Amino acid sequence: MIVVENVSKSFGGKKLFEDVNTSFGPGKRFGLTGPNGAGKSTFMKILIGDLDPDSGRVLRPKRLGILRQDHSLFDHMRVIDVVIAGNPRLWQAMQRKEELLLKSEHNDDEGMELGELECVVAEEDGYAAESDAAVLLDGLGIVQSSHERPLSELKGGFKLRVLLAQALFGRPQALLLDEPTNHLDLESIEWLEDFLLSYDGVLVVISHDRHFLNSVCTHISDIDYETIIQYTGNYDDMVRAKAQVRGQVESGNAKKMEKIKQLQDFIQRFAAGTRSTQAASRKKELDRLRPDEIKRSNIQRPFIKFEFDKPGGRDVLEVHKLACGHNGERLFGGLHLSVSRGDKVAIIGRNGVGKTTLIETLLGTTPPIAGNIKWGHEVDTGYFPQEHEGVIPPGHKIFDWMFEQKPIAGKEGVRSVLGRMLFSGEDGDKPTATLSGGERVRALLSRLMLLRHNTLLLDEPTNHMDLEAISSLRDGIQSFPGTCIFVTHDRDLIETVANKIVAVEEGKIDVYPGGWSEYRRAKQKA
């Protein structure tokens, strides 16, 4: 069990949470939620022990399994060594022992140190470490031929399995995972869900994947109102319960305010008259009757609404026998696709199979290997790239950069769009060089809203977005009267928005009508 007692933490004068008291019990799976900047990763670091709270303490089991957000820390190491490093005490002892054994001679202190290191290795079952790690890797589907390779040579989904093996090495009593689904394809996410459902220790996980949280979690610990509130159930259960509790408090406060007004009117009318005794009684009642304080929520939800000036023709895109690749190397071929005005087309597939290449080929930035692409009459395309670090140039303020995109919109028009995307007031004057990943995403979506294209091509738009922003994006695409073609691993977005799915696999590509559920049924029948 992990127990949190009176924990508080602030950063830069901003209070993240105060006097938090909560616990995470074995056999339960907790989702740690809250908008970007609420303090999820900070709280996770406090649970792990990487960061000290301003006050309070955390009681944690001896053995923790940790999956950090930075998955590239171990790229240079052998896969088998990455797993063993999951037991820091053993790994450090083995490394130091190897360093000392390389010396031809040892002084007395080094001889004593070697003896102490041997004891640590024995205590931590170090002599069976490689075989134990290999068994764990085999069970997670990492074949033995990969055990000696550098981690960097494995694909994203299999790299995650190695890092999970690291987290599980040494039989941890608690598993703490920060954004485990980041950059994973749908197949790997489903594998992870199945794996976590069978884990019987304490699980605490941060994720912006709503479908993942709904599938895995038995409880949600939500960071909001400067505290952490624990809810029973999955993410959707938490949203409903949270709205209900806040609604009850607001309703109760409204009734109290009405009663307070009545008491104040009575006191004002009769304080000095014959009913002064009754007025004094009412004053005592008034002193007792105060509305419950509702701390301000840190949730800020952008308002995403895509519109266009000209609708274009009914037939938006026709693709015939399309083959895609790079430098003449074919990734897949044989795509036949018809897209009509209003269609919402999801492109799915494992990492590296060519989804971005397909988008770039449709846009004309990458030439096709074979086949034809025909865009319809007056189709106006807007593009959101997956890699967008250099898309917004430095040396500008957000407002100035946006105004340059469409001066005819006027300053008020630009500020209106930025305000809907949470860049109101001083935030609109932020230097573009200082934007976080989430802010860059919101700025690029702001540009698409401002330019009013009738056809949108979005490549992994939900990366770096919190759950509130993803919900707003889903609503924006759903209500968009134009056409949207989007690459995503977000199953909730696919299920609620798509009416057509393009599935890219190794060497082939297929088109399926309907959303995620229809696609899964079709694949099961195949």
pLDDT greater at residue 358 or residue 161: 358
E strand or H helix that includes residue 505: strand 500-505
Q: Tell me, rounded to whole angstroms, the distance of Cα 9 from its chain centroid.
A: 22
* Same-domain check for residues 61 and 8: yes
Q: How much of the chain, in percent, has pLDDT values that exceed 90?
A: 47
Mean pLDDT of the chain: 87
Mean local confidence (pLDDT), 422-432? 89
* Same-domain check for residues 280 and 370: no
> Does the structure show a pLDDT above 80 at 263?
no
* Same-domain check for residues 362 and 442: yes
* Same-domain check for residues 183 and 143: yes
Q: What is the reported pLDDT for 274?
A: 63
Mean local confidence (pLDDT), 380-407? 91
Mean local confidence (pLDDT), 381-393? 88
Mean local confidence (pLDDT), 499-520? 90
With respect to residue 376, please indicate whether it lies within any of the assigned structural domains. Answer: yes
522: three-class secondary structure by DSSP: helix
d(CA 217, CA 31): 6
With respect to residue 191, please indicate whether it lies within any of the assigned structural domains. Answer: yes
> Does the structure show a pLDDT above 80 at 249?
no
Burial class (CB in 10 A: 0-12, 13-18, 19+), 520: middle
Of the listed ranges 86-100, 136-150, 288-302, the one predicted with least confidence: 288-302
* Same-domain check for residues 230 and 204: yes
Burial class (CB in 10 A: 0-12, 13-18, 19+), 82: buried
pLDDT greater at residue 382 or residue 296: 382
DSSP structure class, residue 450: H
Q: What is the reported pLDDT for 289?
A: 62
* Cα–Cα distances in angstroms (integers) from residue 100 to residues 92, 116, 125, in the given order: 12, 12, 20
Q: Characterize 311-347 residue by residue with b for buried, 16 or more Cβ atoms within 10 angstroms of its Cβ, and e for exposed.
A: bbeeebbebeebbbbeeeeebbbebebebebebbbbb
pLDDT greater at residue 105 or residue 250: 105
Report the predicted TM-score, pTM, of the whole model to 2 decimal places.
Answer: 0.75
Confidence of residue 12 (pLDDT cuts 50, 70, 90): confident
With respect to residue 87, please indicate whether it lies within any of the assigned structural domains. Answer: yes
* Same-domain check for residues 255 and 113: no
> Does the structure show a pLDDT above 70 at 186?
yes
Could you give the dihedral angle defined by the CA atoms of residues 108, 110, 114 and 115, in that order, rounded to the nearest 10 degrees? 30
* Same-domain check for residues 373 and 518: yes
Nearest to 462 by CA among 184, 81, 101: 184
Domain that holds residue 161: 2-237
With respect to residue 304, please indicate whether it lies within any of the assigned structural domains. Answer: no
Question: The domain that contains 440 carries what CATH number?
Answer: 3.40.50.300
Q: What is the reported pLDDT for 421?
A: 93
Note the pLDDT tens digit of each residue in 24-79: 998 899 999 988 778 888 999 999 999 999 999 999 998 888 887 666 788 899 99
> Does the structure show a pLDDT above 90 at 409?
yes
* Same-domain check for residues 216 and 271: no
Q: What is the reported pLDDT for 157?
A: 72
With respect to residue 467, please indicate whether it lies within any of the assigned structural domains. Answer: yes
Q: What are phi and psi of 392, to 5 degrees?
A: -95, 110
Q: What residue has token string 């430095």?
A: 394
With respect to residue 477, please indicate whether it lies within any of the assigned structural domains. Answer: yes
d(CA 160, CA 71): 8
HSE (CB half, 13 Å, CA atoms) of 330? 12
Confidence of residue 489 (pLDDT cuts 50, 70, 90): confident
With respect to residue 295, please indicate whether it lies within any of the assigned structural domains. Answer: no
* Same-domain check for residues 182 and 266: no
* Same-domain check for residues 405 and 518: yes
Q: What is the reported pLDDT for 479?
A: 95
> Does the structure show a pLDDT above 60 at 488?
yes
* Same-domain check for residues 227 and 249: no
With respect to residue 310, please indicate whether it lies within any of the assigned structural domains. Answer: no
Confidence of residue 373 (pLDDT cuts 50, 70, 90): very high
Q: What is the reported pLDDT for 247?
A: 66
How many domains does the chain contain in total?
3
Confidence of residue 2 (pLDDT cuts 50, 70, 90): very high
Q: What is the reported pLDDT for 142?
A: 86
Could you give the dihedral angle defined by the CA atoms of residues 263, 266, 272 and 274, in that order, rounded to the nearest 10 degrees? -120
* Same-domain check for residues 216 and 149: yes
Mean local confidence (pLDDT), 366-390? 92
Answer yes or no: are the C-beta atoms of 465 and 391 closer than 8 Å: no
Note the pLDDT tens digit of each residue in 76-106: 999 999 999 988 889 999 999 888 888 878 8
| DSSP string over 361-429 | HHHTSS--SEEEEEE-TT--EEEE-S--TTTS-SSSBHHHHHHHH-GGGHHHHHHHHHHHTT--GGGGG
d(CA 409, CA 514): 37
